[in-house]
Amino acid sequence: MVEQASADRLPMPESLNPEQRRAVERITSGPRGGLFGPFVPLLRAPELMTRVQLVGEYLRFESELPDHLRELLILLVARDWDQDFEWGHHVPLARASGLGEDVIATIAAGGAPVGPHDVRAFWRLAAELVRGHAVGDATFADAVAAAGEVAVVEAIVTIGYYTTLAMTMNAARTPIPDDYERLP
């Protein structure tokens, strides 16, 4: 069993070197508007942080994957990794995207896929990929039929991206803001 201490292992550095300052400028001038969460520990490797956050910027703000499906996938990753920062940051976005309260509650409880057809199709895609490290033909075809090939590819990368962020925050013990909703 891994110890569960609460100390932030990689807080915001007291001073920034020139590469870190450039990385902070790049992320704060983009659609995120700030440096927070997983990007604080990633700032130790500023070029990596920039490249990682640019992938996320595309997935969050430019992707063809419908918003409610993206938020579904993020919540599934947060649940899988017991990642309260990711959960608390994205639950309001999931609600705003139209993801149903029944879906959110079922994810929080670790339940089986519920919701409209496209939600269930992408939930199954994520579950098979994360648990079985592959996706069956029927599941893949159902997801493609629900939202198209581009959305399926972007869904796969979304799962990997948010898994990376969850692992980073879990290892760094990134603090969760007091006003964030928590996983049960």
CATH for 129? 1.20.1290.10
Closest CA to 93 of 56, 129, 130, 124: 56
Which residue in the block uniquely carries the two structure tokens 């639950």?
91
Same domain, 35 and 48: yes
**Burial state string for 67-87 with b = 16 or more CB within 10 A and e = fewer than 16:** ebbbbbbbbbbbbbbebbbbb
Instruction: State whether 32 and 101 are in the same domain.
Output: no
Domain identity same for 104 and 53 = no
Give the residue from 140, 130, 117, 129 showing the smallest Cα distance to 66.
Answer: 117
pTM: 0.95
My answer on whether 77 and 131 are in the same domain is yes
Last residue within a domain, chosen from 33, 62, 91: 62
* pLDDT, average across residues 17-42: 97
pLDDT tens profile 48-105:
999 999 999 999 999 999 999 999 999 999 999 999 999 999 999 999 999 999 999 9
In order of 101, 168, 179, the CA distances from 65 in angstroms are 20, 24, 28
Residue that is last in its domain, among 42, 62, 82:
62
How would you class 164 by CB atoms within 10 Å of its CB: exposed for 0-12, middle for 13-18, buried for 19 or more? middle
For residues 154 and 132, what is the distance between their CA atoms, to the nearest angstrom?
Answer: 19
In percent, the amount of the chain with pLDDT more than 90 equals 97
**Whether residues 55 and 112 fall in one domain:** no
Confidence at 5, pLDDT banded by 50, 70, 90:
low
Is residue 181 in a domain? no
Burial class (CB in 10 A: 0-12, 13-18, 19+), 179: exposed
**Residue 57 shares a structural domain with residue 122:** no
For 4-69, list the strands marked E by DSSP. Answer: none
Which helix (H) or strand (E) covers residue 56, if one does?
A: helix 46-61
pLDDT at site 18: 98
**101 lies in the same domain as 22:** no
Q: Which domain holds residue 97?
A: 67-172
Examine the pLDDT at 4 and tell me if it is beyond 90: no
Q: How many domains does the chain have?
A: 2
Residue 170 CB burial class (10 angstroms; 0-12, 13-18, ≥19): middle
My answer on whether 103 and 24 are in the same domain is no
